[in-house]
């Protein structure tokens, strides 16, 4: 990403789909990654994703405020809530950064960035309509309404993942 700035949507869909599968495995073991971001999503020689840096990973039972700005979910910032939804949020930020070339939430200071995560409307102008739809659904502030709240299948079935990954084959 540092070299190319952004990647094509079909490639982003493939990498995000594989990231979701890795996260889902962790979630079935009741583990939250808590730090999904480009530097922790590695591309192996085989072209497949490997999740890295489990230093912030915790049990789903642990409530704590941790993560890397700007990838931290609003509920973590507010009260340290712990659920799969916080990793889904981070995937939304990751996807935005992959296709737009920059994270959706920025700020000159950590305080400003926190305020932007909690209050700033998402700018989806640089995205295709289908990418914008998935990202909006993953970056829903209310984690109960966030895509994936009823299971990872909701995210996997989204047209962006489904159509782009099929087109990539």
Q: Residue written as tokens 């995210």?
A: 155
Q: Based on the residue annotation, tell me whether 35 is a catalytic residue of this protein.
A: yes
| Residue of 35, 53, 87, 108 marked active site | 35
Q: Residue written as tokens 């840096």?
A: 53
Could you tell me which residues come within 8 angstroms of residue 15 by beta carbon, excluding any fewer than 6 positions away? Answer: 7, 41, 43, 49, 98
Name the burial class of residue 88, with classes exposed (0-12), middle (13-18) and buried (19+) by CB atoms within 10 angstroms of its CB.
Answer: buried
Catalytic residues: 35
């Amino acid at each position: 990403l540092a070299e190319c700035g952004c990647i094509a949507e079909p490639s982003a869909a493939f990498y995000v789909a594989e990231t979701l599968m890795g996260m889902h495995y962790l979630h079935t073991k009741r583990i939250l990654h808590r730090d999904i971001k480009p530097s922790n999503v590695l591309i192996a020689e085989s072209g497949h994703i490997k999740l890295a840096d489990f230093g912030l990973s915790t049990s789903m039972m642990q409530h704590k405020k941790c993560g890397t700005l700007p990838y931290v979910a609003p509920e973590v910032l507010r009260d340290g809530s712990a659920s799969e939804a916080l990793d889904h949020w981070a995937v939304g930020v990751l996807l935005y950064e992959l296709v737009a070339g920059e994270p959706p939430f920025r700020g000159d200071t950590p305080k400003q960035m926190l305020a932007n995560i909690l209050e700033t409307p998402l700018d989806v102008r640089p995205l295709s309509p289908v990418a914008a739809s998935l990202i909006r659904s993953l970056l829903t502030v209310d984690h109960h309404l966030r895509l994936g709240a009823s299971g990872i299948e909701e995210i996997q079935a989204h047209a962006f993942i489904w159509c782009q990954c099929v087109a990539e084959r």
